[in-house]
Structure 1
Amino acid sequence: MVPALATTARVIRIDLPGHGHSPEPSDGDHSIPRQGHHLARALDRLGVQRAVVTGHSTGGYVATALAEQRPELVTALALIDTGPDRDAFVSDGPAGKLLLAPVLGPLLWRLRTDGLVRRGLSTAVAPGFPIPQRLVDDTRALTHRTLTRTSQESEDYLPLPTRLTELGKPLLVLFGDRDQRWRPASAARYQPIPDTTVELLPGVGHSPMIEAPTRTAEFLMSFLLRTR
């Protein structure tokens, strides 16, 4: 989506701690507030003073934490398939549950063949959508500690609507209507938050930026122009 978004704004992509090219936290702290702190430091180093912050899934929690810590920096938030509370969670799928298990998970993670990772990622997209090799490679690069701790810290950060209501920021919520990890109907729980727009993307699962990048970018660009 970056080329499309870059026609409207400066686009900065940041790998969360332990993901992509970002190392794991030296103190082992994967808490959402701590990740928000890392995000703030990165934006400060880049000289960013105002930003519309977008996060997918766990990234939505980190974006919210950043706004809590630095309200003067975050002008608006866009959350993509970020679950509102624990009751909205559906499943990581059979393979995902095994990989996250405390005893068996680390043993299986040592194998993490493409096939095993693909099965673990089956709920990350709509049923039948082909999982890109890049997503498989990115997932395989994670440590099991990052995988499990980030998942647990995300759960501990919930519920989200109360936090967002207190922030009082313009909010866009995008949800695929075929999300297999979070109940798509749970997106409506964000609707009572003032100045919030909720959009369901038909035929899309948990990862709209991969499954429907053009439509997702259009929603984000419209939101960006409205909140500038």
Structure 2
Amino acid sequence: MSSTESPSVPAASVLPKVAPVRVGEGERLRSVGLPGVTLSIRSRRPAREGLPPALYVHGLGGSSQNWSTLMAELDGVVDSEALDLPGFGDSPPPDDGNYSVTGHARAVIRYLDAAGRGPVHLLGNSLGGAVTTRVAAVRPDLVRTLTLVSPALPELRIQRTAAPTALLGVPGVAALFTRLTKEWTAEQRVRGVMALCYGDPSRVSPEAFQDAVEELERRLQLPYFWDAMARSARGIVNAYTLGGQHGLWRQAERVLAPTLLVYGGRDQLVGFRMAGRAARSFPDFRLLSLPDAGHVAMMEYPDVVATAFRELLGDTGRLSTDAEDADSGVAAPGAGS
């Protein structure tokens, strides 16, 4: 594994020069070269030595920035890293062009194996929830706990508001959409995304909105932006159709790690009713229902999600920073009951 560190250096020199990626206070960004893929990793300086490691995986069209607020909330609890999936954020496309759920999961596994930080507390949102479910099922040795925020697990009847996202995976639709919306400003696009993803878009601060606009303007300059979106959307649709041992719900049943499930009552992309299906599928689960949240509860209610995460760690003894303490069931001070 090769790694270069910089607050704003593009992940690959062959890519066109675009505006630098935003790095929040207390964060750093580095590029990690792995076989077949280069990943951008966002991290925070640990509050103290010996904290258990955590890795965060974003959803379709998102980036590691989606986790910045929650990562800050969990300072002193875990040693946080968030990655940009291949083709998103500051990570260039994968060498093989594989944007399937399995392809993304393979990238996460390669990073964890190379970094040697596992087992980690693994957190995923939307597409990242599907990816991390697959990682936890096939490599239980890499996962201490699993936290899923509105995971994109198969629904027989998707919500009408989620249909355009699914259609993005149909060949040619992304190119058509690009042509039809070429006059849209970045502000218009961001408002549309926030209306879709947030339970209450008015909760977004003017500063956060402007940051999102600047990030979208940066990413729209990348020649692979729409291709990564379309192929990843297609990957989700394809994962929904898989049956047998490779089906995501079947893999959920094989997850050994204690799992926190977070669902929003105003989620327009993942049906709130899926919380019941998830609760019946993951063997060791805790459910956090947020009636006013949308699709990105970790951005809308980071304090509530952080509290539930700390309680998960306290309940399972995973707050311990020492393996022997974890084995004996001794939780660190401040653990939830």
Q: How does 1:5-154 map to 2 (within 5 A)?
A: 5-92=74-161, 101-108=173-180, 110-111=182-183, 113-114=185-186, 115-129=188-202, 132-133=208-209, 134-140=211-217, 141=219, 143-154=225-236
Q: 1:180 to 1:10 in 2, by over 3 A?
A: same
1:186 aligned residue:
274
Is the contact between residue 190 and residue 212 of structure 2 (CA under 8 Å) also seen in structure 1?
A: no
Deviation string 1:21-43 (CA, Å, 9 cap, x unpaired) is 11111221101111111112222
Q: Which moved more, 1:115-124 or 1:130-139?
A: 130-139
Q: 1:190 to 1:2 in 2, by over 3 A?
A: same
Q: Secondary structure at the match of 2:86?
A: coil
For 2:259, the aligned partner's letter is L
Q: Secondary structure at the match of 2:97?
A: coil
1:199 aligned residue:
288
Is the contact between residue 123 and residue 129 of structure 2 (CA under 8 Å) also seen in structure 1?
A: yes
Is the contact between residue 261 and residue 275 of structure 2 (CA under 8 Å) also seen in structure 1?
A: yes
Rg larger for: 2
2:43 aligned residue:
none
More strand by share: 2
Residue 185 (structure 1) shift: 1.6
Q: Secondary structure at the match of 1:169?
A: coil
Residue 182 (structure 1) shift: 1.6
Q: 1:104 to 1:130 in 2, by over 3 A?
A: farther
Unaligned ranges ≥5, structure 2 = 1-69, 241-246, 319-337
Q: Secondary structure at the match of 1:19?
A: coil
Q: Which moved more, 1:37-46 or 1:87-96?
A: 87-96
Over the matched positions of the two proteins, sequence identity in percent amounts to: 27
More helix by share: 1
Q: Which moved more, 1:197-206 or 1:120-129?
A: 120-129
Alignment partners' CA distance in 2, 1:127 and 1:2? 22
Is the contact between residue 96 and residue 120 of structure 1 (CA under 8 Å) also seen in structure 2?
A: no
Unaligned ranges ≥5, structure 1 = none
TM-score (norm 1): 0.87
TM-score (norm 2): 0.61
- How many residues align structurally? 228
2:30 aligned residue:
none
- The answer to which structure, 1 or 2, has the higher relative contact order (CA under 8 A, 6+ apart) is 1
Is the contact between residue 99 and residue 108 of structure 1 (CA under 8 Å) also seen in structure 2?
A: no
Q: Which moved more, 1:178-187 or 1:154-163?
A: 154-163
